[in-house]
């Protein structure tokens, strides 16, 4: 079975989340500290105890990844249209037949979507209006860093949905076999010939922003965290480093159901985007070969 290992991991992850949520809901009233924490967040049930409130956020990250993958059917035609009409106005396009992989190789592909989601959540968590939407007045007396931290945790599921929508749309284009070349465009000018995939430009853009962006966010937060350590009992620097170090890999596990679903829809995805390609005037079947014409 192609997805045997992945389905086992999904069952374990969903089982752990469900178990802690169940224990949290039947385990009695929240402690005073947990009650204070839950009162700060508008979108977290106030009857959760222990690790339940965190598992609730994990559950929504999982759901957000699934929803984001489904949005690829909406965004991918728009990305292809922009590439064809704006970026590749004078380029030749065609459709190359793509092999069907026998093994599932998408387990860790959600790493960059996770980085992008973390980056977006950190940036928006610093906006006062966003904090007012997410947080209650109860947290008004807390430090600025606490406000940003709680806002960040609530924003991660939504940002994961957005990141997965962007990346899955790009993956769809990459796997569709839609390729282009500028061979005719550069035949009379001094520019190199290029052959590329329609999703390659977007993937480089997204990976570059996600990778560099999260590093910038981490460094900037480490530089300003000293101003929040007025209380010796709260090691916010340790919390931030631990959060940024563990969260991407946790999000990879939580996004695994979405990656399996995306892989299962391969034929549907190919047929869907190739229909749009024909609408945009991309109909020719092509084959790209890299062939030596002499031996050195």
Q: What is the mean pLDDT of the chain?
A: 80
Tokens of 118: 């973390």
Give me the mean pLDDT over the 260-264 stretch: 92
Tokens of 241: 């480093």
The pLDDT tens digits of the residues spanning 120-144 come to: 998 898 888 888 888 776 665 556 7
Instruction: Give the Cα separation of 169 and 69 in Å (integer).
Output: 8
Handedness of CA 103, 107, 110, 111 (dihedral sign): negative
| 95 Cβ contact partners less than 8 Å away, ≥ 6 residues apart | 176, 177, 178, 179, 274, 277, 282, 283, 284, 285, 286
| Model confidence band, residue 233 (pLDDT cutoffs 50, 70, 90) | very low
> Between these two residues, 49 and 236, which has the higher pLDDT value?
49
Residue 269 has pLDDT above 50, yes or no: yes
The pLDDT tens digits of the residues spanning 273-293 come to: 999 999 999 988 888 776 777
DSSP state string for 191-242: ----EEETTHHHHHHHHHHHHHHHHHHHHHHHHHGGGGTTSTT--HHHHHHH
Residue 46 has pLDDT above 80, yes or no: no
Q: Is 286 helix (H, G, I), strand (E, B) or coil?
A: strand
Beta-carbon neighbour count of residue 282 at 10 Å?
21
3-state DSSP: the chain helix, strand, coil percent, rounded to 5? 65, 5, 30
The pLDDT tens digits of the residues spanning 168-219 come to: 999 999 988 888 888 777 676 777 777 888 888 899 999 988 888 777 776 7
Residue 262 has a pLDDT of 93
Residue 110 has pLDDT above 50, yes or no: yes
Instruction: Give the Cα separation of 235 and 23 in Å (integer).
Output: 28
Residue 165 has a pLDDT of 95
pLDDT cut 70: percent of the chain above it: 76
Q: Which of 72-76, 85-89, 136-140, 157-161 has the lowest mean pLDDT?
A: 136-140
Residue 37 has a pLDDT of 58
Residue 78 has pLDDT above 70, yes or no: yes
Instruction: Give the Cα separation of 54 and 61 in Å (integer).
Output: 11
Beta-carbon neighbour count of residue 287 at 10 Å?
8
Looking at residue 113, what DSSP letter applies?
A: H
């Amino acid at each position: 079975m192609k997805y045997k290992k992945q389905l086992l991991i999904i069952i374990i992850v969903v089982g752990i989340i469900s178990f802690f949520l169940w224990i949290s809901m039947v385990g009695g009233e929240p402690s005073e500290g947990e009650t204070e924490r839950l009162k700060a967040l508008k979108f977290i049930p106030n009857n959760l105890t222990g690790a339940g409130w965190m598992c609730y956020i994990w559950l929504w990250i999982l759901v957000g990844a699934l929803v984001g993958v489904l949005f690829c059917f909406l965004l991918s035609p728009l990305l292809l249209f922009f590439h064809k009409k704006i970026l590749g106005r004078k380029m030749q396009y065609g459709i190359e037949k793509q092999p069907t992989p026998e093994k599932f190789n998408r387990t860790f592909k959600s790493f960059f979507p996770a980085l992008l989601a973390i980056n977006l959540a950190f940036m928006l968590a610093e906006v006062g209006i966003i904090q007012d939407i997410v947080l209650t007045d109860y947290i008004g007396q807390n430090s600025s860093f606490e406000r940003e931290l709680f806002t960040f945790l609530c924003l991660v599921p939504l940002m994961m949905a957005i990141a997965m929508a962007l990346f899955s749309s790009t993956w769809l284009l990459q796997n569709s076999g839609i390729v282009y070349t500028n061979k005719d465009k550069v035949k009379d000018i001094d520019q190199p010939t290029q052959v590329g995939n329609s999703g390659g430009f977007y993937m480089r853009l997204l990976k570059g922003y996600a990778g560099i962006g999260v590093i910038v966010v981490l460094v900037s937060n480490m530089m300003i965290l000293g101003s929040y350590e007025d209380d010796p009992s709260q090691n916010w620097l340790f919390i931030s480093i631990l959060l940024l170090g563990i969260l991407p890999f946790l999000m990879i596990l939580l996004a695994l159901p979405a990656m399996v679903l995306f892989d299962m829809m391969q034929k549907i995805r190919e047929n869907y985007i190739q229909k749009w390609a024909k609408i945009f005037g991309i109909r020719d079947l092509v084959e790209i070969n890299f062939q030596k014409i002499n031996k050195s």
